Structure 1
Amino acid sequence: MKTESIKIMFSVCLLAAAGCTISKPDIQSGKLQSVGYLNLERIFDSNEFEAEKFGPARWLENGSGYTTLEDSDTQEGGKDIVRYNPETGSREIMVSSTRLVPPDESEPLEIDGYSWSEDGKKLLIFTNTERVWRRNTRGDYWVIDMNSWDLYKLGADAKPSTLMFAKFSPDGYRVAYVCEKNLFVQDLNDCHITQLTTDGSDTIINATSDWVYEEEFGLRDGFRWSPDGNSIAYWQFDTNGVRDFHLINYTDSLYPKITTFQYPKVGETNPACRIGVISSSGGETIWFEVPGDPRNHYIPKMEWVENSQEIVLQQLNRLQNTNKVMTGDARTGRVRTILTECDEAWIDVSNSLKWLDD
């Protein structure tokens, strides 16, 4: 709402300023082609006033430079992935847009996001994206082998634009991702797919978030590889019992459309949240024994400890004025509280944990 208000005020100011440059004869004769004349079409329906963009940029693991996207000189509409050395300023095209053309296609992939494996030998491309709540977090993922230049799509026969939050394993040989509320791991050597969870449904959400956690805590990506790559920790949400909220859209078409999503109002039933760990090769999930009513507490933060045997999580009460930091044993599910922070009003959870070298 605030952003829209700023846009409107900005437009009004521009139009007012433009009005000062138009002479009365021009208005009467309809001659409004002056270079200085602004209208809503120029402001909103063109890219004339769009700020120049940079990135997305990615630092390489060895610290030798960073990569970013730049318009291709050889293929119209394409993007090259370019490496810069910040020390010397040297520039190198690492992945030309011609390398991003899928088999049997003539146009390169449109890059909405990308990431490198830790060894820099593989590149993960996020494309064909769709919006989930507020951000485009669902789409297709492609992998490029930087040695052979093979380009292939992940997910096998998954529906288009259904993969979320794909991430390389620490060794770079596998990729984990979410598809239709379940968690999967795909081997990049033989493309074999292992489905880690099977209970995803309209009310059970694995490895991504429901509406509440995205709204309250900005949580979208709901799983983490262990540092050794042997396990994955993930959030699971049970929205059963959360009441539906209906929005009526009168503006997009002649007849109104109704959008329905689960939304707990104050005092109403919240989704239940829990965190588990599962082997990256499949098996049973070990659920952490976090105390307290899961519908009246939140778990907004979770990360692995460097030893790959424990996770650290933060638990908030529903009033959000008591935060407990806990560690959990990934082998047994037992947890222990290592810090409790309280405030009479409100506490903001922090994600700035720093692990010591020892």
Structure 2
Amino acid sequence: MNLTLKGVLAPILAANPCPHTLGLRFGSYPLDVRSNEPALIAWLADYFRDFLRQGGPAVCEVLAIEGKPQRLHLDYQLKEPEPGKTKIKEEWAALEGGRAVHKRLTGMAFLFGEGLNVAVGPCLENPNQVVNFINNRFIEHRLNEGCLLGHAAGVSHEGAGLSLAGFSGMGKSTLALHMMNHGLHFVSNDRIMLGRSNGDLMMYGVAKMPRVNPGTVLNNPSLASVMPESDRAAFKDLPLEELWSLEHKYDAFIDTCYGPGRFDLEARMKGLAILNWTRSGGEHRVAPVDIGQRRDLLPAFMKSTGLFFESTGDLTVPDFSEDAYVEMLSGCAVLEVTGRIDFEKAAAELAAFLRG
């Protein structure tokens, strides 16, 4: 007999009432987070301070239950690591009515389906995993409306947006933050949803603060406040290659670094810039391409929906093929950035494109 999502969740929910509530709004998407732990709600309220909602009904509810590491004794399948990675971090189990995902390194468990969305485990030790789960509910909502998922950062100017994609290590988030120095607004750090609205191509971002490495911080004065002076002293004289390869990360809050009101979650998409440059490349160049003829660039932008997406509605599987991306991008300017990596020059050129 198949286990049901509701059956697995029943004893967890009965033992863990969640009276503490946080109201959020991602664009036109109102969402409530409830928890048994007030300290977690306080942390999330600070993190999502640009997206707080006071009152009104929510269309989605997420429960974040603080507790011990969970495995739930389910028949999990291992999720193979992404290309270039070796460590297996996730496993998942299909349930009648939904899915369970277990984080092997942290003991966090996430169960969702049929309107239920529950994170359970050591949430206070892993609040960014709770943030990702909350944002994944919004991503799933947009994908079920017909959007495609892009692996990209995004910026905007007066409602017009530019997505920034790139092959691994190309620095799309770093470039987005350099572009913010040109008076632009931030739309997203690592995920963009593309969809049509009233004939316009729209890009929708995710309410997640960029996590930046020391090289990004040291080369962007606007980010100075995110790095302690002790770290600055330790990192400032490192060789360039070593500096950019450090795994150390800092959360860069947009309002702290650039001022209030600079984080938008949607824009009309004016263009897609694909970073295809190297540190030892030749002359820096930004040039338009026909994405239908340059499908070799699509893998830099296309993003798998992953374990946290469940299609709703009828039984038709959404089309996330290359053809679907080419069609969605038809009529949108696509730019390829080649040559030597130069964040300041690219930021200036792409900001000028966006303002033009």
Q: Which has the larger radius of gyration?
A: 1
**Per residue, is there more helix in 1 or in 2?**
2
Q: Name which structure has the greater RCO, CA cutoff 8 Å, separation 6+.
A: 2
More strand by share: 1
> What TM-score comes out, normalization by structure 1 length?
0.28
